[in-house]
Structure 1
């Protein structure tokens, strides 16, 4: 949720920054490119964090599942 708020706030803040350019199309285009790069970076960090947390969860969850399997006696003796 925090990443989504960060993305929306960043794009919203950058959308009005091109108003200082006036009629210069190159300046407005540069502002748009910078906004796209910033938004892409936020999405990349979001995805990288999700992958890292997912791997950590898988590693810790598989260990606890293996321990639980060793604690239980077999179904048939």
Structure 2
């Protein structure tokens, strides 16, 4: 018989524990530190991906609706004859109503300017947040 046809004899690597015997306490291994080596989820399925909560999106929409309501209410207060102009006639009434309209326009313009500033700050904050959570490229 050739050498390759023969079955190999098992090798003895030292004493083996018999079934039912317990190794001495000083032979016990220490618990491992950290996760086991190797790829995660080896031999098991990965957990389902978590649903992303769009908190920023809903907060942004709430801010937009709030400012839209503020602008509509601010613009609607300028309609009609203000109380300060009652009892006036002629040029004085026109002047008072014109001043009221100019004041309403300035107020609505300031609200729109504040709206733009808040949107810019929110966009900048969101951009910084996204850049901080970005995965580094290998």
TM-score (norm 2): 0.45
Match of 2:109 among 24, 40, 44: 40
- Kindly indicate which of the two structures has a greater share of residues assigned to helix: 1
The C-alpha deviation readout for 1:20-62, integer Å capped at 9, x for no partner, is 5244111011000000010001101100000001111111111
**Count, aligned residues:** 69
Question: Highest relative contact order (Cα 8 Å, sep 6+), 1 or 2?
Answer: 1
**In 2, Cα distance between the equivalents of 1:41 and 1:7?**
10
* 1:20-39 correspondence runs (5 A): 21=85, 22-23=88-89, 24-39=93-108
Structure 1 moving runs of 4+ over 6 Å: none
**In 1, Cα distance between the equivalents of 2:116 and 2:127?**
16
Structure 1 vs Structure 2 CA RMSD = 1.8
Equivalent residue for 1:3? Answer: 67
Displacement after TM superposition at 1:17 (Å): 4.5
Structure 1: gaps of 5 or more residues = none
